[in-house]
Amino acid sequence: MSELLTLSLIFSAIRLATPLIFAALGGMFAERSGIINIALEGLMLAGAFTAAVATYELSNPYLGMLCGMLAGGVTAAVYAVAVIKFEADQVVAGTAINFLMLGLPQLLSGAIYDSSGSTPQIAKGFLLPEFLNINIASLLAFLLIPICWYVLYKTPFGLRLRAVGENPSAADAAGVSVLKLRYTAVILSGVLAAAGGAYLSIGQSSLFTRGMTAGRGFIALAALILAKWRPVQVLIACLFFGFTEALTIPLANYRLASGETIPVQFVQIIPYVLTIIVLAGFIGLSRAPKSLGIPYRKEK
Domain ranges of the chain: 2-282
Asked if residues 163 and 171 have their Cβ atoms less than 8 Å apart, the reply is: yes
> Residue 196 in contact with residue 216, Cβ under 8 Å?
yes
- Residue 235 to residue 25: CA distance in whole angstroms: 9
Contact by Cβ (8 Å): 30, 37:
yes
DSSP state of 203: I
- Specify the pLDDT at position 249: 73
Helices 156-166 and 2-32, axial angle in degrees (round to 10) = 70
What class does CATH assign to 2-282?
mainly alpha
Mean pLDDT of 143-171: 96
In the predicted model, is pLDDT for residue 35 greater than 90? yes
pLDDT at 36 over 60: yes
What pTM did the predictor assign?
Answer: 0.93
Length of the chain: 300
What pLDDT is stored for residue 274 in this prediction?
Answer: 77
Q: Output the pLDDT for position 216.
A: 94
pLDDT computed for residue 1 by the predictor: 44
Measured CA to CA, the distance from residue 48 to residue 54 in angstroms comes to 10
* pLDDT surpasses 90 at 6: no
d(CA 215, CA 41): 7
Structure confidence by residue, pLDDT tens digits, 55-72? 999 999 999 999 999 999
Q: What was the pLDDT predicted at 108? A: 94
Mean pLDDT of the chain: 90
pLDDT at 300 over 60: no
What pLDDT, on the 0 to 100 scale, is given for residue 96? 96
Q: What is the pLDDT of residue 78?
A: 97
Residues of the chain with pLDDT > 90: what percent?
71
Q: Which amino acid is at 282?
A: F
pLDDT band, residue 22 (cuts 50/70/90)? very high
pLDDT exceeds cutoff 50 at 181 = yes
What does the pLDDT average to over 98-112?
93
| 154 has a pLDDT exceeding 90 | yes
The residue-averaged pLDDT of 264-277 equals 77
Q: What is the reported pLDDT for 266?
A: 73
- 211 or 7, greater pLDDT: 211
pLDDT confidence of residue 273: 82
Q: What pLDDT does 2 receive?
A: 53
Q: What is the pLDDT of residue 258?
A: 65
Percent of the chain with pLDDT over 70: 92
